[in-house]
Amino acid sequence: MKKLLYSLTLLCSALSYGQVPAYYSSIDFTLNGLALKSELSDLITSTHTSPTTYSEVWDVLKTSDLDPTNSSVVLLIYGYNDDDGSVINDRTRNKNDNGGEVGEWNREHIFPKSLGSPNLGESGPGSDPYNLRASDVQANGNRSNRQFASGTGNASTVGSNWYPGDEWIGDAARIVMYMYVRYGNRCLPSAVTVGSSNAVDGNMVDLLLDWNALDPVSVHETNRNNAIHAATGNRNPFIDNAHIANHIWGGAEAEDSWGNLSIEDDLKEAILVYPNPLVGDILYISYASDLNIESIVLSDVQGRTTYIAQPSFNSNYQLDISDIPDGTYILSLFSAEAVETRKIILQ
């Protein structure tokens, strides 16, 4: 067993750190669930060494929110049309036209101050530039503190809630994820989003994971991450790699921008794990013999290993879980190529 654990550690290190930026060198990406969330929280909190005041955010946004194609204007979240004669719908605006009047842009709290517990105020989480986006003054007012909800097309109200617009759903999701990981229970995703609760973490809402996958990270978001990092010292992990969200909460699979947190689609499709949810004692794992699965690890949502094996088989394995309590687990399959993870529900 010691030899197996040592080999597994070496394999995990090779898989997890091959292309991971140096900022994340302290993170063990072989963890899943809330254990990985906890490590990321420690990192983005400890490196948040230069908090900004609410007034300082103006200058940060004039750099971070610039249109990648035109450095004289900022992109306005929720905006979609510069040519329809309505300033409310503007997608861009001169970077110096900031303020509180009609036709100006101001600071939109993606996670509204009033939905924090307690109110986020205008310091700490209330002045974190990762949560603040350039927005038309009137569009900001139209959103107000409405919760995010499912929709389609351009930004609009959905009943009493708010849809950010097709272009901005991923941006909004990744900001809410950051705020939750950075500030914990003060910024619960369930307080700002309408939808079904996540099976791994009841405070997360699956709609945000859907948006994270449907709207990949843009050049604008990457530029924001780099600019705000220069100002504050910390980063938004879900912009650096949207797939990190899947290692914490599962859900709709987002792009792995590092290329080493998940395996290629053709390999993923070749692995069959069933039945899931599982009612009974045996979980079946089937895959092509040339995938060369070297180790199987079952972990709970806290990242604690409950089962580990080094299979001596070519394409089929039966995992006896009769002694494992019911609940949600992460099944990790380690091969020479990468690591594949699946959320498993035992009933």
pLDDT of residue 274: 83
pLDDT tens digit at each of 347 positions of the chain: 222 332 333 333 333 334 789 999 999 988 888 999 999 999 999 999 999 999 999 999 999 999 999 999 999 999 999 999 999 999 999 999 999 999 999 999 999 999 999 999 999 999 999 999 999 999 999 999 999 999 999 999 999 999 999 999 999 999 999 999 999 999 999 999 999 998 889 999 999 999 999 999 999 999 999 999 999 999 999 999 999 999 899 888 899 999 877 644 555 667 788 888 888 889 888 876 666 777 788 877 655 777 777 776 556 788 888 889 888 887 877 765 556 777 788 87
Cα 96 from Cα 84, distance rounded (Å) = 22
Domain boundaries, the chain: 20-249, 262-346
pLDDT of residue 1: 28
Short-list 90, 102, 93, 91, CA closest to 62: 93
User: Who's near 152: CB < 8 A, 6+ residues apart?
Assistant: 163, 166
Place of tokens 């599982």: 278
pLDDT of residue 339: 64
3-state secondary structure of 39: helix
Are 74 and 62 a contacting pair, CB within 8 Å? yes
Cα 302 from Cα 171, distance rounded (Å) = 27
pLDDT of residue 293: 75
DSSP 177: H
Q: pTM for the full model?
A: 0.76
Are 200 and 33 a contacting pair, CB within 8 Å? yes
Q: Which residues pair with 300 in a beta bridge?
A: 329
Give all strands (DSSP E) within the chain, no chain letters: 66-67, 70-75, 92-94, 105-109, 132-136, 156-158, 161-163, 272-274, 282-286, 293-300, 305-309, 316-320, 327-335, 339-346
Q: List the CATH code of the domain at 262-346.
A: 2.60.40.3080
Q: How far is CA 340 from the centre of its chain?
A: 18
pLDDT of residue 13: 34
Q: How far is CA 13 from the centre of its chain?
A: 22
Determine which helix (DSSP H) or strand (DSSP E) holds 88, and give its type and residue range: none
pLDDT of residue 253: 86
Cα 95 from Cα 104, distance rounded (Å) = 9
